[in-house]
Amino acid sequence: MATTTIPGGTIGSQIGRSLPRLEARDKVSGRAEYTHNLRLPGMLHGKIFRSTIAHGRIKSIDTSAAKKMPGVFGVYTAEDVRKVIPNPYYGPAFHDQPILAMDKVRFVGEPVAVVLAADPHAAEAAVQEITAEYEELPAVYDEIEALDSKVYVHDELKPAGTFADLKHLTGRKQTNVALDFKLRRGDVEKGFEKAAHVFEHTFRTQKVLHLAFEPFVSIGDAKRDAVTIYTSSQGPSFVRTEIARLLGLPENRVRIRVPYLGGGYGSKLYIKLEALVTALSLLARRPVKISLTMEECFYQITKHPCTFRIKSGVDKEGRIIARKCEVFWNGGAYADVGPRVTQKSGFTASGPYDIENVHVDSYALYTNVTPAGALRGFGIPQLVWSYESHTDMVARALKMDPVEFRRKNILKKGAAQATGTPVNHAPLEAILERVASRLNWGKPFDKGTGPVKRGRGLAIAIKAVIAPTTSVAVLNVTADGSPILYCGTVDMGQGSDTAMAQIVGEVLNVPAESVRVVPRDTDVTPYDMGTLGSRSLFHMGHAVRIAAEECRAKIEALRKDLGEPEGSNTPVAELFKKKYGMQAGNIVGSGTYKPDYIPPQPGTGLTTNVAPFWMVAGAGAEVEVDTETGKVSVMRLINVVDCGKPVNPKIVETQISGATLMQLGFTMFEKMHIDGGQVTNASLADYKIPGIMDVPAVMENEAIDTVQPNGPFGAKGVGETATFCCGPAIANAIDDACGVRITELPLNAEAVYRAIRAQQKKPLEDE
């Protein structure tokens, strides 16, 4: 008898199996298919000439010398692009980004012209011969300056029109604010008046890069009325819709094919090189491939830097009664998905706490730097960095134990979160207690006596999954009974193909290994909103489950039709043979999933159903701080997350550990240095990412034992969850070790040493 009522029913043989990824053998033998491997007959390579200034009007572009270079097929600018795409602006929220710079350039590195050649070296050499003259304009780089600056990155806002909540911004001029999201709960000012203590702090995060090891790559193969794009994209359905719009074609004339991705982390969403290779292929009448170098990736898309002013009013019992959050997102020169980051993260900007009066203002700002988009967390890691550092600072100032302070204020089961949506399935308390217990909180801790001090800290976080979004799947059971799954979720390393095969296997009672998952191809794989925000296992998982259940029902009906006795277990292949007289036919099931959702009220951001599920995380850190050098060593890093029922426990553990190690880089050392708009460390030689030497001595990863009641087989996503808490847990541990508080990432030795010296009243001089 089923002991649970979660969608999908009893968990049998496939859910909870730690089988290796379906494509594991291809990956270890170097044979996995990536867009990089692909060459088409007659294909040309494109190399990009980029802006050297941050903001300016284009006076002239001289391509004559480049055109004369040996092996050059052609050189193209925005003028040419306009011949094939009259209105060449794209973007998911705003149609603000030109395929090649038109009239103006808005950041260093913006594509201005492209050389095509059969030999990429010939194209590269010719790019050096292009010159451009600009009328340089003042530029704005900082998000706070952008708020009141008289320098406007765009003359006029151009919302895409697909989002109702952006429509009011149409035509707005003389502003760099692309979106202002407001959440108003209670009366925050009255709350501050009533409070016994009020604390206000400002935190900042830096500009960092996804740095997927497979750099951006796309191939366009465009004919007048049909286009095929092979691309390393996390969102093939969006690419199809947007390219169709740009070309004025129906969606069925645009085909997007996506093999495995060599990493994505949010960078390969929406349009990146796809529109450019399409335009070039139309102009050249040949297939065109553009593969970026690693240096160029620093000028494609980054994470949002942010400034977060947070103010809390606390009563004399230590209860937070009012919290005001002002968050400023540095979106760079083009909006990309920044307005969505601004809004969706705004829902939880006040943290996983039960606060009567909440006021959130979250601003998406244009600046003259590389555009910013989603990076493994959709803004949440930046917010958690701030509110969990702040929470510890408040607890310490009140002389309260940081865990006790959190216990007192944490959102309890059923309580309304800041938006008004109740948190029914967000095991915050359990996670806080697990982290505290793993840290032996409350027990004696050796803090060190010499110059090396030891400390520990923790953090907790909540995220509302992005909503509402849709996934569609089709399952085809072939004549020998082997299933083929068509689903648009992109496997970029998170193991989605394997997880979806496990769901099919569970429903049809076959081994997951026997399920073939078709590589993404919009001509055959149905619609999916995108592989982002840890949404796929929940949304696509449901769609796949529904498709498989439909197939199962049809198989049972066939059994009945053929007069099979009740409870017969005749193999599916035999049923087909009986029905068609030979190995023939197939059974097709489809599933569409879109969760319930109530949009937040404009102006207040309030709703009783902001998201179908919450993502909840906690982290604990033990650190050693060398007070003579500022060097911080993370000795122990604990992550406890809620991902519902793990479909594949081994892959879940790798996701938890990999996410937190990536965040460890963003926490401890990664930073894009920008000087006059120019990234001065745009290479792996100068931009350090975590290597094998940076792994903490002890890592503990735990998915707490729970199910997500409305998830497919009790599951939900886990890709981002372990990124949330790493940063503030470490900053809180540093404070515990040596009493200094760092409010800006990264926590490198210089930052820590400066803080130690400042605390000793012997501050170091600025650079």
Partner 1 sequence: MTARTISFTLNGEAVSAEVANHHTILEVLRNEFALYGARESCGQGLCGCCTVIVNGTAVSGCLYLAAFADGAEVTTVEHLDADGRLDPVQEAFIEQGAFQCGFCTPGFILMTKQLLDRHPDPDDDQIKHYLSGNLCRCAAYPEIIKAVKSAAQKRAVAR
Give the nearer residue to partner 1 in terms of CB position, either 342 or 534. 534
Burial zone of 164 (CB within 10 Å; 0-12 exposed, 13-18 middle, 19+ buried): exposed
Count of CB atoms within 10 A of residue 584's CB? 11
What's 466's DSSP letter? P
Binding site for partner 1 (CB under 8 A): 18, 20-21, 23-32, 34, 36-37, 121, 211-215, 260-265, 293-295, 492-495, 650-651, 654-655, 657-658, 661-662, 683-685, 689-693, 695, 699
Residue 762 CB, nearest approach to partner 1 (Å): 36
Identity of the residue, 262 or 589, whose beta carbon is nearer to partner 1 in the bound complex: 262
For residue 673, the minimal CB distance to partner 1 (Å) is 17
Task: For residue 754, list its beta bridge partners.
Answer: none
Read off the amino acid at residue 621: A
Q: Which is nearer to partner 1, 327 or 668 (CB)?
A: 668
Classified as helix, coil or strand, 51 is: coil
Phi-psi region of 38 (alpha: psi -120 to 50; beta: other; left: phi over 0): beta
CA within 13 Å, CB half, 376: 28
- Both tokens of 232, joined, read 């390393």
Catalytic residue, candidates 720, 744, 765, 767: 720
- The DSSP secondary-structure symbol of 306 reads E
What gap in Å lies between CA 312 and CA 305, rounded to an integer? 23
**In this complex, which beta carbon is closest to partner 1, that of residue 389 or of residue 494?**
494
CA atoms 663, 668, 673, 679: torsion sign? negative
Check residue 260 and report its DSSP letter.
Answer: B
Minimum distance, C-beta of residue 747 to partner 1, in the bound complex (Å): 18
Q: What angle do CA 600, 602, 605 make, to 5 degrees?
A: 45
Distance CA 266, CA 632 (A): 29
Report CA torsion sign: 222, 226, 229, 234.
positive
Task: Give backbone dihedrals phi and psi of 578, rounded to 5 degrees, phi first.
Answer: -65, -40
- Nearer residue to partner 1 within complex by CB, 37 or 64: 37
User: Which among 571, 747, 753, 758 has a CA at the least distance from the CA of 205?
Assistant: 747
Does 720 participate in catalysis according to the annotation? yes
- Residue 264 makes CB contacts below 8 A (sequence gap 6+) with 210, 212, 232, 234, 490, 492, 493, 531
- Shortest distance, position 375 Cβ to partner 1, whole Å: 12
Identify which of residues 279 and 652 has a Cβ nearer to partner 1 in the complex.
Answer: 652
With respect to partner 1, which residue has the nearer C-beta, 554 or 650?
650
Least distance (Å) between residue 653 CB and partner 1 = 8
- Residue 214: Cβ within 10 Å count: 18
Q: Output the smallest distance, CB 595 to partner 1, in A.
A: 27
Question: CB 532 → partner 1: shortest distance, Å?
Answer: 16
Question: What amino acid positions are annotated as catalytic residues?
Answer: 720
